[in-house]
A and B are shown apart, each in its own frame.
Chain A
C-alpha cells in the first residue's frame, strides 16, 4: 500500500503554474508587510536587553504553549484560544510538511515521506486539528456576538462620539472578518477533502482508508447520500481547491497588515518582557537633552512593537481603576491610540516632519494630558496583559514631557516644589521628621550615630500624617518590645521618591534618591525595613540604579518572622472577621501577598477575601502622585469603588490595610461612602498592637458595635 494525498492531480500545467505564481505573490506581499513593520519599529529608540536570548525565548515559548497569561481570569477565552492556537499550529505544521516533502525534499533529493502510514496518521491529526480550530472559532464568535463581555466593548472613555477617532467599528469588522475567514478556510478544507473522497470513491485503497480523515469521511458519506457522483465530486473538488487555496494565500499575504500579526508581535512582546517594567522605571541618560516622550519616535522599538501586540482583549481596560471610576483613561486605548498614530506616521518610506510626530494632544491617535494624569501607575494593566504590554513606562515617559513643560495640576506643581525645598511632601521642616518619636516612652536610635541591625526607613506619610503617626509609634513599640536593634535616619531621611518618579519628575527623583543613598551610606546597618510599600518598592527596585543596594523588607515579613520566632508574643486572639487590601506596591509590584495573610491568621482573624485580591487588587487611587492631585469634585473615586466592594462582605468587621496611604484614603472613603459604623479601616500594625496588649481598652469590635 502506498497511499498519499493527491495534490495537483488532473491540473493543467498552466493551472499549477498559476498557483505557484499566486503563492509566490502571497509570500512576497507577506515579506513586504513584514519589512514595513520592521522599518516602523526601527524608527524607535534602540534598547539594550538584559538576559540571554535563549532564556527569553524559552520563557516566551512556555507562556505561549501553556496559554498561562491568556487563561488568567478568563478560563473560557483561554480555552477557546488554546483550541484555535493548537488547531492552527497543527494545520500550519501539516502544510509545512507537505511543502517540505513535495517542493523541497522531493525535487532536490528524491526523498518522499508523505505517504503510507505516515500519511494516514497525518490525515487524522490534521482532521482533528481542524475540528479544534473550528470549535475555538465558533466559541469566539459566540462570545463576541452573544456573550458580549464588557471588556470587548471598544467604546473609548477618552474621546467624545464626535471625535474623528472615536469610531472603532473598523476594529469590530476586522475581528469578524478574521473569525469568518478562518472558519471558511477550515470548512472549505473539509469539503475539499470530502469532494476528493467522493471523486476517488472507486479506488479502494483511498475509500477504504477514508476514516483516517473522519470529518472528511462523514461529509463524503453525506454528499454521496445526497446523490453526488464521482464526476460531481471531481468538479466540486476543483472549485473548492481553488477557493481554499486562494483564501489561505490571501490570509498569509495579509498577516502583517491585520490583527493576525499578533502571532508574531505578541510572541516578540512576550520575549522582550521586562518583569520589572512598572517597578523600576527607565532612567533618563545624563547627556539626554530632551526628557520624556514627546514624539512617537521617542519610544523604544520594543515599545513600538508592544503597541502592535495588543489584541484588544480589554483585560487592562477592565482592571484599570481610573477607567472604572469614569476617568478619561483606558490603558487599552492609550496603546491603541499610539498604535494608530505609529501606523499613520511611521509606515511610509520617509519620516514626516517632527511636528507631525508629536503624540501629545487631542488629535487622532494623540494622548491628552487629562488621560495621562488620570493614571495611578497601579500596574493592574501591566500585570494582567496577556501579551506583556508595558503601559506604565509608556505613560510615565509621556508624563515626563508634561512635567518638563509644567503642564500639570497646580496642586501637584506646588507639592513638587515643596518636596524640592523641604525633602517631604508635607512641607514640614526636616527637623520635624522624627517628631513622632517624642511621644514614645523609649528613645529611638539615630542610625547615623550608632550602628544598628535594622534601619527603618519611615517615609513621609508614616512620619508626618497625624493618623499614621499612631501606627508608626505602634510599630516602634513592637520593634522595641521584640528587642530588635533598629534605628532611623531622623532628618537625614528624605521622601523616597517612588511617587515623584511616577509623576514623571525624574530630576527631582534623582535628587531624592541620591540624597537617601548618601544618607544611608552614612549609617551602619544590616538591612532595611519600612512600613511604606511605596518606599519599599523604589528602594528595593530602583535605588540599585543609583548605587544603593540593600536588603530591604516590608514590615509584614519582618513581623511574621518575629511572631514565628516568638519574639513578638500575642496576648490574645482577636477573633475578627476581616478582609485584606493588597497595597499595589506590596502585592502586585513586589509579590508580598502571603506575609500579611499569615499574620492575620496568627492573630486569630477570619480572613474573607474580596473578589479583587492579590494580583488583581484594586488601587486605592493614591498611586502615581494622584494623592497630590485633587480628584474631580463629585466624581466616583477608586477608594469608593473599593469600599463598596468591601461593604458587600457580610459581617465584615475590619478592613485591614498595610500601607500608610491606604489608611488615609480608605478611612476617608469609609466616611464618604456612608459605611462608617459598619466596619472599620485598620492598619495591620494596629491589630497587632491590640493582640499584643493585655488590657482590652477600646478593642476594635467595640468600635464596630458602637
Chain B
C-alpha cells in the first residue's frame, strides 16, 4: 500500500526584493525557501494513515524542482516519509501548473499509489490547479479542499469532508485510487527537529529525469504549458490619507485633492 504526497519548495519574498532582469520573476537571491504550508498538512495526513495502519504503508514524497527542492524532501523524510523522489530536467523550467501536473501524473503511474495527496494550492503561485490537473491526466477521481479524511489503508473507497461556504460541510465518498487536495487545518503537522532533518540528509533522494518517466521535452516547460508569465511587477501603490481638522479645513483639503487629481489627469 502506497501513498504519494506531492510537495513543493515554495519561495517567500524577502523584505526588499528586486525583479529579475527579464522582468518575469523575482531575483532568486531575494527569495526565502520553505516547504509549501499546505504540503505540511498533506504529508501529515499520509503519515497519520501510515501510523494507524495495521499493515505496512509506504509514504512517498515527490517534488518537481531543481536541487534546492531536496531541502523540502529532506524535511518530509525527517518527519517519517519512507522515500523521496525529485524530478528535474532543464526543460521543466518555465512550466505552469499543467505541465507540472503532467510530470506528477507520470510519477503516479510509475508508483501506482492508492492515493495522491497534494496541497490545495502553493503559497507562492497559488494556481490551486496542480492537484486536480494531475487527476485529470491520470483520469482518477479527485476532490479539492479536503478538510477531513477517513481512510483505511487498502480500502477501495475513502470518506472525506469538504468545507463549503457558510460553514456547511460536504461529506463525500471517493473511489481509490484518487487525488485529494488537502486544506490547512485538517490536522496538526508534526515538528521536524533539526537533528532529524540532519539525519535525513543521509537518506537517498531518487532523482528522476524526463526520460525516466517517458515524457518528451516539449510536453513540459513553456511549450507544454497552457499559460506563461508575461511579466512580474510591483503595481503603483495606492495612497490613503486621513483628513483632519474642522469641517471647513477638511472640505478645503478634499477640494484640493480633487483639484490635484483632475489636474493630474488633464
Whether A403 lies near B193 (C-beta < 8 A) is yes
A residues in contact with B191, CB < 8 Å: 403, 406, 408, 413, 416-417
Chain A nearest CB: distance from B47 CB in Å?
12
- The CA-CA distance from A428 to B12 in the complex, in Å, is 12
What are some 9 contacts across the A-B interface (CB < 8 A)? Answer: A291-B193, A404-B195, A417-B191, A422-B32, A429-B14, A431-B15, A507-B196, A507-B197, A507-B198
A399-432 interface bits toward B, Cβ cutoff 8 Å, 1 = contact, 0 = none:
0000110101010010011001110000011111
Complex interface residues of chain A between 414 and 465 (CB less than 8 A to chain B): 416-417, 420-422, 428-432
- The CA-CA distance from A245 to B42 in the complex, in Å, is 74
Among residues of B, the one whose C-beta sits closest to the C-beta of A417 is B191
**A175 interface contact, C-beta 8 A:** no
A residues in contact with B15, CB < 8 Å: 428-429, 431-432
A residues in contact with B14, CB < 8 Å: 429-431
Interface size class of A (residues with CB under 8 A): 20 to 34
B34-58 interface bits toward A, Cβ cutoff 8 Å, 1 = contact, 0 = none:
1000000000000000000000000
**A333 interface contact, C-beta 8 A:** no
Whether B193 lies near A421 (C-beta < 8 A) is no
Whether A404 lies near B34 (C-beta < 8 A) is no
A residues in contact with B34, CB < 8 Å: 421
Chain A nearest CB: distance from B127 CB in Å?
23
B residues in contact with A408, CB < 8 Å: 191
Complex interface residues of chain B between 188 and 203 (CB less than 8 A to chain A): 188, 190-191, 193-198
Whether B32 lies near A421 (C-beta < 8 A) is yes
Whether A505 lies near B196 (C-beta < 8 A) is no
- The CA-CA distance from A431 to B15 in the complex, in Å, is 8
9 A-B pairs besides A406-B190, A410-B188, A507-B193 with CB distance below 8 A are: A291-B193, A404-B195, A416-B191, A421-B34, A431-B15, A505-B193, A507-B195, A507-B196, A510-B194
Chain B nearest CB: distance from A499 CB in Å?
15
**B16 interface contact, C-beta 8 A:** yes
A230-256 interface bits toward B, Cβ cutoff 8 Å, 1 = contact, 0 = none:
000000000000000000000000000
Most B Cβ at <10 Å: residue of A420, A430, A507: A507
Complex interface residues of chain A between 288 and 327 (CB less than 8 A to chain B): 291
**A508 interface contact, C-beta 8 A:** yes
B residues in contact with A431, CB < 8 Å: 14-16
Known: A421-B32, A432-B15. A404 touches B194 (CB 8 A): no
6 nearest A-B pairs in the assembled complex, by CB-CB distance: A507-B194, A507-B195, A406-B191, A429-B15, A508-B194, A406-B190
Whether A404 lies near B193 (C-beta < 8 A) is yes
Complex interface residues of chain A between 459 and 480 (CB less than 8 A to chain B): none
A residues in contact with B190, CB < 8 Å: 406
- The CA-CA distance from A430 to B32 in the complex, in Å, is 10
**A511 interface contact, C-beta 8 A:** yes
Among residues of A, the one whose C-beta sits closest to the C-beta of B14 is A429
Number of A-B contacts (CB under 8 A): 43
Whether A284 lies near B195 (C-beta < 8 A) is yes
- The CA-CA distance from A520 to B195 in the complex, in Å, is 24
List chain B positions with a Cβ less than 8 A from chain A: 14-16, 32, 34, 188, 190-191, 193-198
- The CA-CA distance from A410 to B16 in the complex, in Å, is 29
Chain B nearest CB: distance from A491 CB in Å?
10
Among residues of B, the one whose C-beta sits closest to the C-beta of A288 is B195
A residues in contact with B196, CB < 8 Å: 404, 507
Chain A nearest CB: distance from B28 CB in Å?
15
- The CA-CA distance from A690 to B80 in the complex, in Å, is 56
**A506 interface contact, C-beta 8 A:** yes
- The CA-CA distance from A508 to B78 in the complex, in Å, is 14
B residues in contact with A406, CB < 8 Å: 190-191, 193
A residues in contact with B195, CB < 8 Å: 284, 291, 404, 506-507
- The CA-CA distance from A428 to B188 in the complex, in Å, is 24
- The CA-CA distance from A420 to B188 in the complex, in Å, is 19
Among residues of B, the one whose C-beta sits closest to the C-beta of A421 is B34
Most B Cβ at <10 Å: residue of A410, A421, A429: A429
Among residues of B, the one whose C-beta sits closest to the C-beta of A432 is B15
A residues in contact with B193, CB < 8 Å: 291, 403-404, 406, 505, 507-508
B residues in contact with A422, CB < 8 Å: 32
A265-276 interface bits toward B, Cβ cutoff 8 Å, 1 = contact, 0 = none:
000000000000
- The CA-CA distance from A431 to B196 in the complex, in Å, is 28
Complex interface residues of chain A between 568 and 589 (CB less than 8 A to chain B): none
Chain B nearest CB: distance from A293 CB in Å?
15
Chain B nearest CB: distance from A22 CB in Å?
57
Chain B nearest CB: distance from A282 CB in Å?
14
Chain B nearest CB: distance from A300 CB in Å?
20
- The CA-CA distance from A291 to B196 in the complex, in Å, is 10
A residues in contact with B32, CB < 8 Å: 421-422, 429
Whether B194 lies near A420 (C-beta < 8 A) is yes
- The CA-CA distance from A429 to B16 in the complex, in Å, is 9
Chain B nearest CB: distance from A40 CB in Å?
30
A480-520 interface bits toward B, Cβ cutoff 8 Å, 1 = contact, 0 = none:
00000000000000000000000001111011000000000
- The CA-CA distance from A431 to B191 in the complex, in Å, is 27
Chain A nearest CB: distance from B23 CB in Å?
23
Among residues of A, the one whose C-beta sits closest to the C-beta of B79 is A406
- The CA-CA distance from A284 to B191 in the complex, in Å, is 19
Chain B nearest CB: distance from A503 CB in Å?
11
B residues in contact with A432, CB < 8 Å: 15
- The CA-CA distance from A410 to B185 in the complex, in Å, is 13
- The CA-CA distance from A408 to B191 in the complex, in Å, is 9
Chain B nearest CB: distance from A199 CB in Å?
75
- The CA-CA distance from A174 to B188 in the complex, in Å, is 48
Whether B16 lies near A511 (C-beta < 8 A) is no
Chain A nearest CB: distance from B36 CB in Å?
13
- The CA-CA distance from A422 to B12 in the complex, in Å, is 11
A residues in contact with B16, CB < 8 Å: 431
- The CA-CA distance from A397 to B188 in the complex, in Å, is 25
- The CA-CA distance from A431 to B193 in the complex, in Å, is 25
B residues in contact with A428, CB < 8 Å: 15
Among residues of B, the one whose C-beta sits closest to the C-beta of A412 is B191
Chain A nearest CB: distance from B200 CB in Å?
11
- The CA-CA distance from A493 to B14 in the complex, in Å, is 17
- The CA-CA distance from A429 to B29 in the complex, in Å, is 12
- The CA-CA distance from A506 to B194 in the complex, in Å, is 8
- The CA-CA distance from A403 to B192 in the complex, in Å, is 9
Among residues of B, the one whose C-beta sits closest to the C-beta of A404 is B193
- The CA-CA distance from A1 to B79 in the complex, in Å, is 87
Chain A nearest CB: distance from B260 CB in Å?
31
Chain A nearest CB: distance from B15 CB in Å?
4
B residues in contact with A510, CB < 8 Å: 194
- The CA-CA distance from A431 to B197 in the complex, in Å, is 25
- The CA-CA distance from A422 to B16 in the complex, in Å, is 15
A residues in contact with B194, CB < 8 Å: 420, 505-508, 510-511
Chain A nearest CB: distance from B78 CB in Å?
10
Chain A nearest CB: distance from B94 CB in Å?
27
Among residues of A, the one whose C-beta sits closest to the C-beta of B195 is A507
B residues in contact with A429, CB < 8 Å: 14-15, 32
A residues in contact with B198, CB < 8 Å: 507
- The CA-CA distance from A417 to B12 in the complex, in Å, is 15
B residues in contact with A508, CB < 8 Å: 193-194
Chain B nearest CB: distance from A468 CB in Å?
19
- The CA-CA distance from A505 to B192 in the complex, in Å, is 10
Chain A nearest CB: distance from B229 CB in Å?
24
- The CA-CA distance from A506 to B195 in the complex, in Å, is 7
Chain B nearest CB: distance from A319 CB in Å?
31
B residues in contact with A417, CB < 8 Å: 191
- The CA-CA distance from A420 to B194 in the complex, in Å, is 8
A residues in contact with B188, CB < 8 Å: 410
Chain B nearest CB: distance from A273 CB in Å?
29
Chain B nearest CB: distance from A463 CB in Å?
14
Among residues of B, the one whose C-beta sits closest to the C-beta of A403 is B193
B residues in contact with A430, CB < 8 Å: 14
- The CA-CA distance from A113 to B170 in the complex, in Å, is 99
Complex interface residues of chain A between 513 and 530 (CB less than 8 A to chain B): none
- The CA-CA distance from A405 to B173 in the complex, in Å, is 33
Among residues of B, the one whose C-beta sits closest to the C-beta of A428 is B15
